[in-house]
C-alpha cells in the first residue's frame, strides 16, 4: 500500500510538472522585435480598424453592459461583457501609467496583442481578441501603440473579472492556447490581388471580424470550417449574421453594397445595422475608402458557408 501511495504521489507530481510546462506563457523575445520608427497615421488606421473605441472607451450609464460611450478618445475601460463563462470587465488602455498601459514597453504591448500575455507574465482571457490580433504585423502594432500614447491619459478603477471555477484559474489558458493560438501572422495569397489581401488582413487581423461572426465550440474556440458563418451572440443577446457569400449570408450583396453599408450603416434592404454592429460600422467608416473596398473585395472571396439558424422562441 505504501508503494502504491508513493507511485500515485510521483505520478501526481509528474502531472503537475507537465501541466506547468504546457501552460507556461510563450512570449516574443526582445531580439525578435524589428527596429521600426512608428508611423502615427498608420497607427490611427489600426486603431479604427481594431475597434478599440467600441470596448475600451469611457462609458456611462446605470448598467455596464448597456452603457453608452461618453468620449471616444478616453480609453478608460469599465464596460462589462456578460458571457457564459462569467463577467469580464474591459480594462483601461489609455496612456495612464498606473491604471492604463502608459508604463508598458514595446515588448509588453506586442506580447499582449500577439500572445495574450500580460507584462507580469499572466495569460489574458480570450475575451481580449488576441487570437485575431496575433495575425497582425509587428510594425503595425508598434504604430498602434505609438498612436495610443497620443490619446489622453485617464485614471480609472476597473473591477476584476467575475468568473466561476475553473475559469478563474488563468494558468489553464495555456492549454487553450495550444489549441487556438498559433502565433502566425497573416500570409498574403499570391494568387489574389492587393485589394483582396489588404481586406483579408483587415478582416482576420485588426478588424477581428471572426471573433463575433464565427460560431464557437464548447471550449470557446472557433468551429472549424465555419469562418464568418454567424451564430449566437457571445454575450447571449441576439444572433450574429452570416457574412460569407452564401445564400444564408451576403451572397446577394454586391461589393458596392458592402462598401456603402460599411460607410453609412444602411443595408441593401434599406434597413440599418443594429446592436454592436453600429459601433463597428462607425469605426470602419473612419478608414480610408480604399480599405472599405478592400474589405468588400475580400468578403466576396471567403468560402460560402451555410450558417446555423436561430432557434424560434416558443410561444
Mean pLDDT of 162-167: 85
Q: Which region among 31-35, 86-90, 311-315 has the lowest average model confidence (pLDDT)?
A: 311-315
Predicted TM-score of the model (pTM): 0.91
Residue 229 lies in a domain: yes
* Per-residue confidence (pLDDT) for residue 29, from 0 to 100: 94
Shared domain check, 280 and 304: yes
Residue 146 lies in a domain: yes
> What's the grid cell of residue 59?
462609458
Cα(196)–Cα(199) distance, integer angstroms: 5
Quick count: other Cβ atoms within 10 Å of Cβ 61? 12
What is the pLDDT confidence band of residue 248, given thresholds at 50, 70 and 90? very high
Shared domain check, 202 and 82: no
Average pLDDT, the chain: 91
Shared domain check, 179 and 58: yes
Q: What angle do CA 134, 208, 282 make, to 5 degrees?
A: 140
Q: pLDDT tens across 187-205, in order?
A: 999 999 999 999 999 999 9
Alpha-helix residue ranges (DSSP H) falling in the chain? 2-22, 40-49, 52-56, 106-115, 130-133, 138-148, 173-180, 194-204, 210-213, 255-264, 277-284, 289-299
> What's the grid cell of residue 252?
446577394
Cα(290)–Cα(205) distance, integer angstroms: 17
Closest by CA to 221, choosing from 229, 210, 237, is 210
| CA-CA-CA-CA dihedral for 80, 105, 130, 243, to nearest 10 | 90
Q: Which region among 37-46, 62-71, 181-190, 250-259 has the lowest average model confidence (pLDDT)?
A: 62-71
Shared domain check, 300 and 174: no
Residue 12 lies in a domain: no
Closest by CA to 127, choosing from 25, 24, 208, is 208
> What's the grid cell of residue 292?
472599405
Residue 183 has pLDDT above 60, yes or no: yes
* Per-residue confidence (pLDDT) for residue 312, from 0 to 100: 62
| Domain count along the chain | 2
Q: Are 28 and 114 contacting, i.e. CB atoms less than 8 angstroms apart? A: yes
Residue 68 has pLDDT above 90, yes or no: no
Q: Are 202 and 294 contacting, i.e. CB atoms less than 8 angstroms apart? A: yes
Residue 202 lies in a domain: yes
Shared domain check, 39 and 102: yes
Shared domain check, 175 and 296: no
Shared domain check, 284 and 207: yes
Shared domain check, 200 and 295: yes
Residue 148 lies in a domain: yes
* Per-position b or e across 258-292, b if 16+ CB within 10 A of its CB: bbbbbeebebeeeeebeebbebbbbbbeebeeebb
Higher pLDDT, 289 or 9: 289
Shared domain check, 137 and 280: no
Mean pLDDT of 107-111: 98
What is the pLDDT confidence band of residue 238, given thresholds at 50, 70 and 90? confident
What is the pLDDT confidence band of residue 252, given thresholds at 50, 70 and 90? very high
* Per-residue confidence (pLDDT) for residue 236, from 0 to 100: 61
Residue 116 lies in a domain: yes
* Per-residue confidence (pLDDT) for residue 315, from 0 to 100: 46
β partners of residue 89: 80
> Prior bond to 277 cis, omega within 30?
no
Shared domain check, 199 and 113: no
What is the pLDDT confidence band of residue 53, given thresholds at 50, 70 and 90? very high
Residue 89 lies in a domain: yes
* Per-residue confidence (pLDDT) for residue 28, from 0 to 100: 95
Residue 6 has pLDDT above 80, yes or no: no
Shared domain check, 289 and 240: yes
What is the pLDDT confidence band of residue 225, given thresholds at 50, 70 and 90? very high
Shared domain check, 95 and 49: yes
Q: Which region among 12-21, 27-36, 210-219 has the lowest average model confidence (pLDDT)?
A: 12-21
* Per-residue confidence (pLDDT) for residue 36, from 0 to 100: 96
Name the one residue in this structure whose C-alpha cell is 462569467: 86
Residue 20 lies in a domain: no
Domain span holding position 104? 33-156+169-185
Amino acid at each position: 500500500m505504501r508503494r502504491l501511495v508513493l507511485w500515485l504521489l510521483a505520478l501526481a507530481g509528474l502531472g503537475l510538472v507537465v501541466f506547468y510546462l504546457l501552460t507556461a506563457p510563450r512570449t516574443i523575445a526582445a531580439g525578435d522585435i524589428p527596429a521600426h520608427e512608428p508611423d502615427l497615421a498608420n497607427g490611427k488606421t489600426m486603431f479604427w480598424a481594431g475597434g478599440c473605441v467600441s470596448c475600451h472607451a469611457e462609458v456611462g450609464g446605470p448598467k455596464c453592459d448597456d452603457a453608452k460611450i461618453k468620449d471616444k478618445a478616453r480609453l478608460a475601460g469599465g464596460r462589462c461583457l456578460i458571457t457564459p463563462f462569467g463577467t469580464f470587465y474591459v480594462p483601461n488602455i489609455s496612456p495612464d501609467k498606473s491604471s492604463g498601459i502608459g508604463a508598458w514597453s514595446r515588448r509588453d504591448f506586442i506580447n499582449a496583442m500577439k500572445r495574450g500575455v500580460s507584462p507580469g507574465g499572466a495569460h489574458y482571457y480570450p475575451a481580449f481578441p488576441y487570437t485575431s490580433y496575433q495575425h497582425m504585423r509587428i510594425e503595425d502594432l508598434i504604430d498602434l501603440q505609438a498612436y495610443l500614447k497620443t490619446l489622453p491619459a485617464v485614471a480609472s478603477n476597473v473591477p476584476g473579472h467575475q468568473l466561476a471555477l475553473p475559469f478563474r484559474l488563468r494558468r489553464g489558458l495555456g492549454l487553450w492556447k495550444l489549441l487556438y493560438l498559433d502565433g502566425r501572422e497573416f500570409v498574403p495569397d499570391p494568387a489574389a490581388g492587393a485589394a483582396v489581401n489588404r481586406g483579408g488582413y483587415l478582416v482576420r487581423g485588426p478588424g477581428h471580424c471572426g471573433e463575433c461572426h464565427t460560431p464557437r465550440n464548447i471550449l470557446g474556440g472557433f468551429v472549424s470550417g465555419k469562418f464568418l458563418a454567424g451564430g449566437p451572440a457571445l454575450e447571449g443577446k441576439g444572433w450574429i449574421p452570416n457574412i460569407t457569400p452564401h445564400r444564408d449570408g451576403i451572397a446577394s450583396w454586391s461589393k458596392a453594397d458592402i462598401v456603402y453599408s460599411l460607410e453609412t450603416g444602411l443595408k441593401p434592404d434599406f434597413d440599418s445595422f443594429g446592436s454592436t454592429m453600429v459601433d463597428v460600422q462607425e469605426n470602419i467608416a473612419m478608414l480610408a475608402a480604399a480599405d472599405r473596398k478592400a474589405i468588400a473585395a475580400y468578403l466576396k472571396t471567403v468560402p460560402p458557408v451555410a450558417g446555423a439558424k436561430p432557434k424560434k422562441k416558443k410561444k
